[in-house]
Copies of this chain bind each other. A is one copy, B any other.
Amino acid sequence: MTPEPTIRRLAKYLELLKNEIANGVEDISTTTIANYLELDPTQVRKDIEYTGIIGKPKTGYNAKELYSEIKKYLNWDNVKDAFLVGAGHLGSALLHYDNLKEYGIQIVAAFDVDRKKIGRKLNEVEVLPLDKLQNLIKRMEVKIGIIATPADAAQEVANLMIEAGIEGIWNFAPIHISAPEHIIIENAQLTLSLAVLTRRMIENKIEKTTMGD
């Protein structure tokens, strides 16, 4: 299994490569990537080795080749259907994220229990009643579920999804989701990221105070 920090950095390299290719860059070295992203070149090289691509002695990598290898490695080279449950503000923002296709997924339907939301279209995607979720997962063989419900509904929604055949869940609800081992649960809970920000800010302050002693 590729370590999570490596996967996250590979996604960042891809972002950079996309820009560099758009700017006409043909070859790119680990040092260039490292400098741009303020990382250690050895780290960058190690991360890229996971994809199996081999660099050339002096020039590094062919930018387009590296781009497509990383894209394949992240499983972003083909677009998979995804279902979203919870058509609130966050769900709506995800539905309006037109570029998701570049990242390997496309939200093809949304589900909610709120009658005011059902039947509406959000960025061309219809909001359906939750009780249609399981049938549609089976019929369309959807493997990716996105949970953007309140915390107290999330586990129940996850259970419905898994029972119907979902293999990976992208969870935005602020709660831990229990699932059988073979199901992938990825927490995109914004609050976990916010914790890193606010803690680092206080650490910065502590450091400054200590240095001033």
Contacts and interface: CB of A to CB of B under 8 A. Distances in A.
Contact of A167 (B88, B190, B195, B204): B204
Given A15-B175, A201-B184, A203-B1, A195 B8 contact: yes
Interface stretch (A52-60, A89-97, A111-119, A134-142): A89-97
27 contacts: A1-B200, A7-B195, A10-B195, A11-B192, A12-B176, A12-B192, A15-B151, A15-B174, A19-B175, A36-B176, A73-B199, A75-B201, A89-B93, A89-B96, A90-B93, A92-B93, A97-B190, A99-B174, A103-B198, A104-B198, A105-B198, A168-B197, A168-B201, A169-B197, A170-B193, A170-B197, A188-B193
A75 B198 contact: yes
Interface of A: 1-2, 4, 7-8, 10-12, 15-16, 19, 36-38, 73-76, 80, 88-90, 92-94, 96-97, 99-100, 103-105, 143-144, 151, 167-170, 174-176, 178, 182, 184, 186-204
